[in-house]
Amino acid sequence: MSWAAHDLEPYAFQRHFGRRIAFVPLLVGSYAPDMLSKWFVYGINVFGVELKADDPVQFHRGWPGVGFTHSLAFGLLIAALILLVSGSRIWAFSFLLGHWAHSLTDVGDTIGTMLFFPLSTETIGIGAWAYAGQVGRTLDAGAYYSGLGFVWDGFWIAYGLLSWRVLTRAYFRETIVAADPRFWGWCGRWLPETALLVLYRTSFFYGSTRWAAWLIWAHVVHDFPFDLSWGGPHWIPAAHD
């Protein structure tokens, strides 16, 4: 799995697509494959009862499981539903772009994604960094930010910083709002522009700050060893397909 990349990729797309995409469905698409399943992969404690998938890897990326949410066809299906319900081509396309970016990004780990479900249940992955969701979220964080995953996220932070113009107020007014006036106009009835701008920038802020925080946590507060070899870090029992 990837971490901050899913927060940051939408800003890179925004830079290149401008008014041809709507930011909110793009962002929702970028989060969509994990939106309803991640908590069950890591597990949560509700009043002393632990809710967690028996086989987190199978549940998250496999079939049977909810691995189909990472397939290209699932993104297409939801985009078609968005088009049907909203009648907005730009919303449907933006969601699809975000969703496919997520699905293709997660190909980077040692499990990969069922890209071609339902035609195939085979997961496709290049194994650049260890998939370790099954060991729990804290250890997974330590592992991800010790291997090539953090380099991958760092690339998107750097790309985002080079694309800083997309974060400006002028860009927000002239491109983000102009591409999706109905949504932002509706929000503008309740919140001032400064607050809308904060919400627009939140994922960039969230992705880049937690990248920094996890790095500090893993390597300054704790002593997780860096391992930038392919498929690393190898000190974690990575899941493989």
Of the two residues 124 and 215, which places its CB atom closer to other proteins in the complex? 215
Q: How far is the CB of 35 from other proteins (least distance, A)?
A: 10
Among 147, 165, 144, CA closest to 210: 144
Residues that bind other proteins (CB under 8 A): 7, 31, 137-138, 141, 168-170, 192, 194-195, 198-199, 201-203, 205-206, 208-210, 212-214, 216-217, 220-221
Cβ atoms < 10 Å from Cβ of 146: 25
**What are residue 129's phi and psi, to 5 degrees?**
-135, 155
Q: How far is the CB of 202 from other proteins (least distance, A)?
A: 4
Of the two residues 120 and 202, which places its CB atom closer to other proteins in the complex? 202
Of the two residues 202 and 229, which places its CB atom closer to other proteins in the complex? 202
Bond before 25 cis per omega within 30 degrees: no
Q: Which residues make Cβ contacts (< 8 Å) with residue 117, sequence separation at least 6?
A: 63, 67, 68, 71, 73, 74
Q: How far is the CB of 211 from other proteins (least distance, A)?
A: 9
CA–CA separation, 147 and 232 (whole Å): 5
Q: How far is the CB of 212 from other proteins (least distance, A)?
A: 5
Of the two residues 8 and 90, which places its CB atom closer to other proteins in the complex? 8
Of the two residues 27 and 90, which places its CB atom closer to other proteins in the complex? 27
Give bridge partners of residue 208 from the DSSP assignment. none
Of the two residues 116 and 217, which places its CB atom closer to other proteins in the complex? 217
Q: How far is the CB of 86 from other proteins (least distance, A)?
A: 23
Q: 50-59 long-range CB contacts below 8 Å, 24 or more apart? A: 55/134, 56/133, 56/134, 57/111, 57/131, 57/133, 57/134, 57/239
Q: How far is the CB of 213 from other proteins (least distance, A)?
A: 3
CA–CA separation, 17 and 29 (whole Å): 15
